[in-house]
Each structure stands twice: as C-alpha cells, then as structure tokens.
Amino acid sequence: MPGSGRRRGWWLGATLPLLVLGAFSAGLLPDRALVAPRGHFVIVSVVSALSFVLAMLVLAAAQQIADLRVLALALAFVALTGFFSIHGLATPGIIAPGTNGWVGTSARLALFAGAWFIAASALESRIGAHRALLRYRGATVLATLSTLTVYGTLALSDLVLQRATATGEPARPGWLQAIERAVAALGSGTPAFALGGASLALLSLALVHYWRVERRWSSPLVRGLLVACLFLAQAQLALLVAPVWYLSWWEYHVLLLLGYLAALAGLAREYALSGSWRGVLEGLLLRDALEHLERGYTEVVAALAAAVEAKDIYTKGHSVRVAHLAALIARELGLPPERERILYQAGILHDIGKIAIPDAVLQKPGRLTAEEFALVREHPVRSWEIARHVRSFAPMLPAIRWHHERLDGSGYPDGLRGEEIPLDARILVVADVFDALTSVRPYRAALSVTEALEFLRQEAGSRLDPQCVAALERIVERFGPAMVHGLASAEPAPAAGMPAERC
C-alpha cells in the first residue's frame, strides 16, 4: 500500500470503531438502549454464514496444503461459525422465550476460539509443532468438530426444553440445568473478563504478525486478514465493556460482520490474481515476505554456495543444477512463480551446512565410517541453522532442512513420513538425488540419465514422491537429458543401494 498518507488514512478507517466505542463510553455519543431480538438473530445469522463460507474455502485448501498455519486458519473460522451460530439461536425469543446462559457465553467462546486459532495461524512454523500437528491434523479437526457438536447439542437441547417448560411441560433435567448455570458463570464476571483478555492478547499477536507482513509485502489477502484482526479485536473490546442491548453493544456485532467481509474480500481479490484457492493460501503462508530480495541477499546466497563448492571440486555446480531442476519441477507441477523462486534459492542453499564437514570426509574416495557418515548426515540441520538467521530465507527452510527425508520415514534428520514432508522438500529431494546420481563423485562414477530415471521410478511411491518423479520424467522428455543436466554426456555405472545419500 504505497504512500504514507494513504497508509495513515487506511489505519484511521480501520480503527475508527474504537474511537466510536470511546465516544460511547465517555458520553460524547448517546448510548441508547435498542432491544431487538429478531434483528440480533438476523445479523448474527449473516455473520455466521459469512464465517461458514470462509471456513469452507480455507478447509478446502487445508486438505491440499501440509501447513499447520493453513489448518489453524481454517479451524478459526470453523470455531467462530459453530459458537456464533449458537449465540444467534440462543437469542431470547428465538427458541427459548427468556434469557439464558448460552447466549452471552457462546459469543465470548466464539471470539476466544477464533482468536486462539488465528494467533496459531500467524505464528512461525516450528519443527516440533509442525510435525505434531501434521501427524495428528485429522484428530485435531475431529476434536474441534466434536467439541462444537457436543456444545451445540447441549445448548439446543436445553433451549428447546426451556421453551417446552414455558408452555407447561415438565421441568428440565437437573443435570442440564447445572450445565447451563456453569456455562452462564463462564460468560459473566471474572471468567468473562479472563476470556476477553486472553482473546485480546491472542488477537494482538496476530495483528503484529500481519502488520509486519503488510509493511514488507502488501497484498489483498494480507490486508484483508489484518483488517479482520483489527475488527475482531475491537469487537472483543466492545463485548467486554458495552452494556447488553445498547448501541455500543450492537457495535461489536457490526464489527464482526465487517471483519468477515474484509477477510472474504481479501480472499476473493487474491483469488482473482492467483486463479486458485490453494494458490491464494500458499501465497500468503509460503512465499517470502520480501517479494523482491535485495541484491545484498542474492550475493550472500551466491557466496555461501561458492564457499561450499570450493571445498569439494566433485560437487562443483551441484547446487545450481539442483536449483534449476527444482524450479523446473515446481513449474511442471503447476506451482506459482514465487514457489519456483523459493525452490531455486533453497536449491542453492541446501548444502551450505557442508561447509563444516572436513574436506577429507567430503572427498573420501572409499566407504565412509559410521562416524564420518553421521557427520555428513548433520549437514541438512547445519544448513537450516545457517539459513534461519536470515529472515528473508524463512520460506526456504522446510526444503533446506528436509531435503534428505524419505516417504517411508527412512530419511534424516527428523524421520518424517509421507505428507509430513512439505512439498517443497519432496521436490528438492528428487532434484538433489537425480543430480547426484548423474554426477561423478569420488566414491563412484556417474549414472546415465536413463539409469538415474529408472532408479527414481523404483523409489517413487516408497521413498520419493511419485508426482515429482513423474514431473522430472516429463521435463527430461521435453528438454532432453543433456540440457536438463547441463552435461553433454555421462559416464554410466551400475547403481548400488542409494548412492545419492552423500549428495
């Protein structure tokens, strides 16, 4: 969003509701009572419907993208939809004739659950959390849906029985009345302020994240989510301080509606630019926050790669060839251009950790000892440790760390399996193995391109991603073996085991 004046105007517009809330609280604006249960039900239903649409769009992408932040963003809208729907149905006069404990507490739980997951979607991906959530993402979704289902079933059952009781039916069961009293207690007094404070703190984390991203890389989706977080935070503040049925209380419902509209507008605009819902979210969560790296960073990348290759003359050009090949595979798979760029840079950097390995080990012509092989196996983590200190390298880190993982869990350093391995890493694995197989090494001769492809086919599905291998085969068929590998010829040699493990 160019121009400091325009940016200031944008922030003023996004925070204007906070000024209105302050004017209500200070008595500068008349905060009149407006009791309209059916109007409340209508606006809550519209908000819930918008939240449901957002939840379905993001969930569809979450099925295809192995990223915990996408899943968390999807669950944020799922939780908001579930709890806020109960908030609307619990409106006095809609199902139950009078006030009840479900209506206020459901609104507070909706904002808290949404804030929890939105904050999780904004956090940087950590290795342990990434693995755990990806491994148990089905259970995480099931637990969330189960919680919403149980809560909704109890609430609706109690509301229906309250209605029946008002018409002369027998009283509600004692245990259900006890649950409703407990729910009511959670939505009032100290527990309500604790929930509200926690929600504000979590939304503040998300706000800081999206504000930093927007400053460095402005896009419709980033702006939409930033505005949504701003409106959600102000809605939570209004819910905390505004008296029920007064104009200041109605403001939080309007803020929720505006927040969802902002997020939906950002998604729609980003979709128009990228052409797919998956591309929208990958662009948000996986691309480099700096759309155009400064020249200094490019020179750092080149210098690091040159330093590694200077240690090992046998792998000279390996990183560049892997980078080119990984970018070609990404293009063949239909990934957006920014992913090609990220994979190219990850290919350049993937072996920089070898700079810490003694030359005698790297250039050893014979079989490595167990201690030497353990030292070589450390290089993905060393590469990751070096790269993670440069903020603009963040999108490359999964591919750098996990480019020696295998689908069957036999790889290293973390023993990831299947879809636990990010797609970028699976692409880089295929490019890395292919180039290593077709290159001369001190411990073996090179394979021909045909032999290397045959080896990859044998590994496809068990250790290597079959789609990535198939994409590589199409690339070789289209451009020819020599152009793909950058060599006019290769000296063939029989394959034995997995000769690329020292690549």
Domain boundaries, given as residue ranges, for the chain: 36-285, 295-485
**Rounded Cα–Cα distance for residues 503 and 421 (Å):** 19
pLDDT at 230 over 70: yes
**Assigned CATH class of 36-285:** mainly alpha
- Sorted by sequence, the CB contacts under 8 Å of residue 391 that are 6+ apart come out as 289
**Rounded Cα–Cα distance for residues 58 and 330 (Å):** 22
Backbone angles phi, psi at 409, to 5 degrees: 85, 5
Backbone angles phi, psi at 442, to 5 degrees: -65, -20
- CA-closest candidate to residue 445, choices 480, 380, 489: 489
pLDDT at 315 over 70: no
Backbone angles phi, psi at 76, to 5 degrees: -60, -50
Cβ atoms of 21 and 238 within 8 Å: the answer is: yes
- CA-closest candidate to residue 432, choices 311, 323, 281: 323
Cβ atoms of 429 and 452 within 8 Å: the answer is: no
Cβ atoms of 267 and 57 within 8 Å: the answer is: yes
Q: What is the DSSP string of 178-190?
A: HHHHHHHHHTSHH
pTM for the structure as a whole: 0.58
At residue 496 the predicted structure's pLDDT band, cuts being 50, 70 and 90, is very low
Question: 3-class SS at 415?
Answer: coil
At residue 208 the predicted structure's pLDDT band, cuts being 50, 70 and 90, is confident
Cβ atoms of 353 and 451 within 8 Å: the answer is: no
Q: b/e string for 243-261 if b means 16 or more Cβ within 10 A?
A: eeebbbbbbbbbbbbbbbb
Question: Which runs of consecutive H residues, i.e. helices, occur in 217-294?
Answer: 220-241, 247-274, 277-285
Type of residue at 498: M
Most confident of 171-175, 254-258, 359-363, 477-481: 254-258
Q: How far is CA 385 from CA 104, 320, 362, 372, 396, in A?
A: 48, 21, 20, 20, 12
**Rounded Cα–Cα distance for residues 62 and 288 (Å):** 20
Backbone angles phi, psi at 484, to 5 degrees: -60, -45
CATH among 1.10.3210.10, 3.30.1300.10, 3.40.50.2000, 3.40.390.10 for 295-485: 1.10.3210.10
At residue 288 the predicted structure's pLDDT band, cuts being 50, 70 and 90, is very low
Q: Tokens in use for 6?
A: 């325009």
- CA-closest candidate to residue 354, choices 326, 325, 315: 315
Residue ranges of E strands in 155-215? none
Per-residue pLDDT tens over the stretch 422-458: 999 999 999 999 988 888 766 567 788 889 999 999 9
The pLDDT of residue 362: 72
Cβ atoms of 68 and 398 within 8 Å: the answer is: no
pLDDT at 293 over 50: no
The mean pLDDT value for 3-28 works out to 74
